[in-house]
Amino acid sequence: MTYTESMIECLESNLMLLKEELACLDHYPELTGTVITKIVRCSRPNCAACAAGFFHGPNVYYRYYENGALKDKYLGKKIRDEYIRKTEANKKYDAVSAEIREIERELERLKTMGSKRRANQ
């Protein structure tokens, strides 16, 4: 077995394991943003804290794009943990998907290289 063949075999094995892992992961395609924290000024005109330069927070927001515009949605205590869990799950899903695509590109490159080598012999 050549080095290239052993690399292809190893990558195919890794690819299979990653696809199995991806199938077990949660994915929420409706959530394309991320969770952030911000210190904010309130809208009350007589707020003593804001008048003294001490703003409120950190408050938790969901940041996302809608029709090309950046939006922030305030996350109250009841839904904060759900959004954090879902966005973290999406990050993991996207990382595994990116790794799968990278391995598939490398496999295609190695297989093409191997077929060219065999054609030249």
Assigned token pair, 7: 């690399």
Domain count, the chain: 1
Supply the range of the domain harboring residue 63: 3-120
Question: Which has the minimum average pLDDT: 23-27, 96-100, 110-114?
Answer: 110-114
Q: Rounded to 5 degrees, what angle do the CA atoms 40, 71, 47 make? A: 20
pLDDT tens digits, 29-87: 999 999 999 998 888 889 998 888 888 889 999 999 999 999 999 999 999 999 999 99
Mean pLDDT of 103-116: 87
Residue 4 pLDDT class (50, 70, 90 cuts): confident
How would you list the strands of the sheet with 69-74, edge to edge? 34-40, 56-66, 69-74
H-run or E-run covering 65: strand 56-66
pLDDT at 13: 96
